[in-house]
A and B are shown apart, each in its own frame.
Chain A
Amino acid sequence: MLELVSGVLSVMGVKNIITATDGEEGFKKFQKEKPDIVITDWLMEPIDGIEMTLKIRRDGISVDRLTPVIVMTGFSAITRVAQARDIGATEFMVKPFTANELVKRIQSIIERPRDFVEADSFFGPDRRRRKKDEFKGSDKRSRRE
């Protein structure tokens, strides 16, 4: 899967792809290379992608706690999505995935970056979607009696 995702990113035009086979090696490389985006699998040993994301977000030595993290996994239950969100993942991607889904998530990270929330029990991207102001039509609902 690592080979496949790296290959897709390469075809997409991503120039510098750094790979690791588990969360421990991943965090070391994150610290050294300071990547623009992290894409991680959920299940890895000895340190999984969830723990690595937690380290990126909350460890005092993390070189950039605001780095966008995409968590990829075969899990799709809503509880898993919530778990990934609660540890500060930026995007959640269910495998098997299509290239289009990966491109969309990377585009979203680049073009619609989120604020970060720092609280006692949470550090991660703001879970609330930003209010859209583009709508210019008449406001029919507020005129209802």
Chain B
Amino acid sequence: MVEYKNVNIIKASFRLMQKVGMGPVRPGVIEECEKFIADNNIDFLPWAQSCLDDLKTVLAETKIDGETLNDDVRQELIAPIMQIKASGAMFQNKPLTELAACLLHFLENIKTLDADVMQIIKANEVVLTAFLKDEEHTNVLTPTKEKLIIELRAACNRYGTKNEIGSFF
């Protein structure tokens, strides 16, 4: 156990409670907020496309050496995917979030950057691009999209098994 010296405890302040009171929020307010999120018409697609373009640039510039994946490269690969995962479902594009979440989990847990990893990332990037272009069913997890996500997860799992990392999903 780590032993800390010179520890000082500052007692919690109830200033905010004194300012705004306490108790449940006004009935209906959460529903109103959820409706605000669901009804927002912010055009998310150009921004998502720019994230995918960033990913493509990183992929093009990344050298495959089969060595341990260093934190800077990992971060560069992760950043655009994390942004898509974070935003997709909030801007009526749940399938994008679902697929990006899989790739994010994979990227956060791999140890090396080899040809197999690059293939998996590129396959995900192609499918993410296809999801983004499907403007007719942006928020619908169609059977085809679902099947693609399952296949990409399976590819991650096969990589994990082959490289003794274990299953990702």
Interface residues of A (CB under 8 A from B): 1, 3-4, 7-8, 11-13, 36-37, 43, 66, 68, 73-75, 77, 79, 95-100, 102-103, 107, 109-111, 113-122, 126
Contact A96 B86 (CB under 8 A): yes
User: A71 vs B74: C-alpha distance in the bound complex, in angstroms?
Assistant: 21
Identify the closest chain B residue to A10 (Cβ). Answer: B36
User: A3 vs B91: C-alpha distance in the bound complex, in angstroms?
Assistant: 12
Query: Knowing that A74-B86, A118-B8 are A-B contacts, what are 17 other residue pairs whose CB atoms are under 8 Å apart, sorted by A's residue number?
Result: A7-B36, A11-B32, A11-B33, A12-B25, A74-B83, A75-B82, A96-B86, A96-B89, A103-B25, A110-B16, A113-B13, A114-B12, A116-B9, A119-B4, A119-B7, A120-B6, A126-B9
Q: Is the interface of B mostly helix, strand, loop or mixed?
A: helix
Interface residues of B (CB under 8 A from A): 4-14, 16-17, 19-20, 22, 25-26, 29-30, 32-34, 36-37, 40, 42, 79, 82-83, 85-91, 97, 100, 104-105, 108
Those 5 A-B pairs whose CB atoms lie nearest each other, nearest first: A74-B86, A99-B33, A95-B86, A96-B89, A116-B10
User: A129 vs B105: C-alpha distance in the bound complex, in angstroms?
Assistant: 28
Contact A111 B17 (CB under 8 A): yes
User: A4 vs B17: C-alpha distance in the bound complex, in angstroms?
Assistant: 26
User: A73 vs B86: C-alpha distance in the bound complex, in angstroms?
Assistant: 7
User: A1 vs B9: C-alpha distance in the bound complex, in angstroms?
Assistant: 36
User: A11 vs B28: C-alpha distance in the bound complex, in angstroms?
Assistant: 11
